[in-house]
Amino acid sequence: MSARRLALLLIVVVGCGDDSVDGSGGTTGDSGLETSGSTDADGPSVDLPPRASERSCRFEGNPPGLLPQLRFEPAFEGLQLEAPVAVTSAPGRPDTLWVAERDGRILSIDRVTEEVRSVVELELEAQTTLEAIAFPPDFVDSGHVFVRTHRAANPPVTRISRLALDELDAWVPDETMMVLGVPFAPGARAGGAMLFDAAGMLIVALGDGGAGDDLPMGAQDPSSRHGSILRIDPAPLDATGAYGIPADNPRADDPAGATAEAWAWGVRDPKQCSVDRLAGDLWCADVGELEQEVGRVPAGGNLGWPILDGRRCRTTAAQCDGLATVIPYATYGQDAGDCEVVGGVVYRGSSFPELQGAYLYADRCSGRVRGLRLRADGTVEHDEVLGGIDGTPVAFGEDPDGELFLVDGDSGALLRVALTDVDKEFPVRLSASGCFDELASLAPAPDLVPFEVNAPLWSDGTLKYRHFVLPPGEIIAVLDEGLLAFPVGTYLLKTFVLEQVVGDPESRIPLETRVMIQREHGWEFHSYRWDDDGSDATLLARGDEAFVTIQETAGSRELHYVFPDRFACRTCHGSAPSHALGPRIDQLDRRVDTSEGHYDQLEQLDAIGMFDRAPPAVKAIASPSDAAASLEQRARAYLHGNCGHCHRPGGWVPPDLHMDLRWGLPLEETRTCGVPPQYFNPWADGSARIAAGDPDDSLIWQRIDQRGPGQMPPLGTTHADPGADVVREWIASLAGCD
């Protein structure tokens, strides 16, 4: 990358000397800062310019390389549904869509006229609900339809029955046949999925039989129907009155009875499964204890419950390490309003090529709809929030053409899945975003508001220029403890700039601009790589790297700079209570010095109408390089800024790793000082997380001080931070852990 001069208006941090945020205003030329009239020894106080009334900076449309954003359109106007639980199609009936309702009604809908063609009203016992319906491959000839019901009491039981419909799709009660009955305890997790696979075998997914916090181990036993996914052959029913065992079941020859029925096991509460109509793969969604999970289910697969909950180990590390399990493709926790996964469908329709091969799934509580797509090698390429509904998703279904529907349990509506922002083009080149009036100097557009943070994340010595972009008239909600909630349509921009000759501002070159976008149902992450000549930047579809020579006083060295992919961004930003990690009141509470003067950042952000209320009085996080702060404050600030977003309750660490590195906690509550390592660590051998007085025997320092396997932070940096010595000095100064 060639050196070139960036004519930047540098925001020089005089007060604290934190060079990692030097230049974070990122403005040039006329900054728009106004002199207020008051002065002091460090120059006049200045004001931020008023917020722009119009939006210049725009990242709209569906980004290339990502799954598209979705909208959900009401289907079948005038259709009145009561507690729908499933929508599906039947082989050989391209003109019909079928809907099941919890009270036992099955409706057939003419896809052309969009009118209800027939209604079957099952005679259900008291406290019994209809859970699922499935049509066998021979439906046109046999008229058979399989139904799954669950009786909640006297005693509880899940039943699979076969019904017969006549040529008018009317129920023939005399031909109803009970296929399978599985007893459960009152209130137990029973599952809910039932479907036919590509070979015409019936799949029945059963819950583990536990209730509340119960952890029955039967899910790890293939001979127990509880916690298993059964696969049976219904073809022999008419001849023998009993179903058969498919010859290709993984334990078809096992003499232990129910074991032969098992296709997979180790599930907790599998509500819905589906079959990819192109690949033939079985996909299931399992409602976990703390982790919701989705993935393909192979023959003989052990999905891990109750030893694993999603990817989380619930028992001992030794037991989890020795467990041969099928790791889910995607998991998410019960936070931000999420509570229970709703299993989906792999899109194989023709209307939206951008969705081809994506598995869509949702959450009952938040209404968010996510999309997951695999690469050819079976690894995850995308797993993103694509949209959502205000109601309660209860089921996905597909019509005969492979187009998708989502069932809203609140309104009873069937919603067609469609794309949003199809008429807008997402900027592939940064110049097309309108975020900079002049790219050559990084002069920001009027709606970019600069900000700095006290304790930034180490990023291999790059300077960072940070900006808020809010929709005109929108404001940031100030939450408890000084966390911030950004309105939909917010952008957070951060441009990384590097001095190729250390200490020479004229050698600065831009490397990367990262963009976080607050969509209606979650954050989206993008990275733009700057051209070698610094004239523009290009959107990256995946991670990348660059090698830049840096000239220092002692000589030259090569910086290996890593551009993260979108998943790497979500690793950290997706786990914290606020997905925007830097902007929080205690981080923003600082004085900002510019070439024109200085200002109180919080005061000025509030003055231009950025917040919904005056920022609360909280203790500002120290800058790790502020010599005026105590050594402990500086070290704790460093650990917060670089580690505390993951090492905290609910962070991106194993749930039983009880180490909390957030700023402001008393040392004893961090569970670090004098606490031995919890897991065997092949990269470090400290006797304690923090060994008072001995940084070289402290696991935390050992991992901060190294790069490569076992480094901390694990992502986003290839060179150790010289500023991290503040942590070493603090540990060395500790006389004890009291």
Tokens coding 362: 């949702």
Task: Identify the DSSP state of 362.
Answer: E
pLDDT score for 254: 83
Residues 6+ apart with CB under 8 A from 580: 484, 486, 492, 516, 523, 573
pLDDT score for 574: 55
Q: Average pLDDT per run of 10 along the chain, which is 738 residues long?
A: 38 33 34 49 84 95 89 90 95 96 96 94 96 97 98 96 96 95 96 97 97 86 95 96 95 82 97 96 96 96 94 79 87 85 96 96 95 92 90 96 96 94 90 93 94 89 93 93 89 95 92 92 89 94 89 89 73 53 86 91 96 91 91 90 77 70 87 83 82 90 85 77 89 91
Query: What residues form DSSP beta bridges with 70?
Result: 419
pLDDT score for 214: 81
**Total Cβ atoms within 10 A of residue 554:** 7
Task: Return the percent helix, strand and coil in the chain, to nearest 5.
Answer: 15, 35, 50
Distances (CA, A) of 718 to 7, 83, 212, 652, 710: 28, 54, 45, 20, 12
What is the C-alpha to C-alpha distance for residues 438 and 173, in angstroms, rounded to an integer? 75
What is the C-alpha to C-alpha distance for residues 492 and 580, in angstroms, rounded to an integer? 8
**Sequence-ordered strand ranges (E) for 240-315:** 262-265, 270-275, 282-286, 291-296, 301-302, 308-309, 312-313
Tokens coding 310: 């999603």
Q: Is 320 helix (H, G, I), strand (E, B) or coil?
A: helix
